[in-house]
């Protein structure tokens, strides 16, 4: 049987957390995510699984991220978002992909959506 861990602990080092609907893993320093991070889980009150991977810097998302939305209804295609975070906010072009195609690009500046391209 696994050990029960308080996910709000100030633990440092590599950690893995198993939740009721998914998991997350990565490195923490003084209780904050820091470095490469991955997670998967079901969105609350939905039939959509989300898988995300990217980097944190002391609890803030930074650098390139990839976020996949997988609808449990197989008739709906998987949607993948790729883009950059700067100091915890979306920044630059975020691309939305569906199988075999780019469907949309959104331009963010410090977390604010400034333009969209179809």
Each residue's pLDDT tens digit in the chain (118 positions)? 455 556 556 678 999 999 899 999 999 998 899 999 999 999 999 999 999 999 999 999 999 999 999 999 989 999 999 999 999 999 999 999 988 887 899 999 999 999 998 7
pTM for the full predicted model: 0.85
Site of tokens 């696994």: 2
Instruction: Mention every residue, 6+ apart, whose C-beta is less than 8 A from residue 44.
Output: none
CA–CA dist 50, 69 (Å, integer): 5
For residues 79 and 69, is the Cβ–Cβ distance under 8 A?
yes
39 closest CA partner among 50, 27, 55, 31? 50
């Amino acid at each position: 049987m696994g050990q029960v861990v308080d996910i709000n602990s100030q633990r440092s080092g590599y950690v893995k957390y198993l939740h009721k609907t998914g998991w997350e893993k990565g490195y923490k320093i003084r209780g904050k995510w820091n470095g490469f991070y991955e997670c998967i889980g079901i969105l609350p009150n939905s039939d959509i699984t989300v898988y995300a991977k990217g980097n944190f810097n002391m609890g803030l998302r930074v650098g390139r991220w990839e976020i996949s939305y997988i609808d449990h209804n197989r008739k709906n295609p998987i949607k993948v978002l790729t883009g950059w975070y700067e100091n915890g906010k979306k920044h630059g072009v975020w691309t939305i992909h569906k199988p075999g195609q780019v469907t949309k690009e959104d331009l963010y500046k410090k977390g604010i959506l400034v333009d969209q391209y179809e």
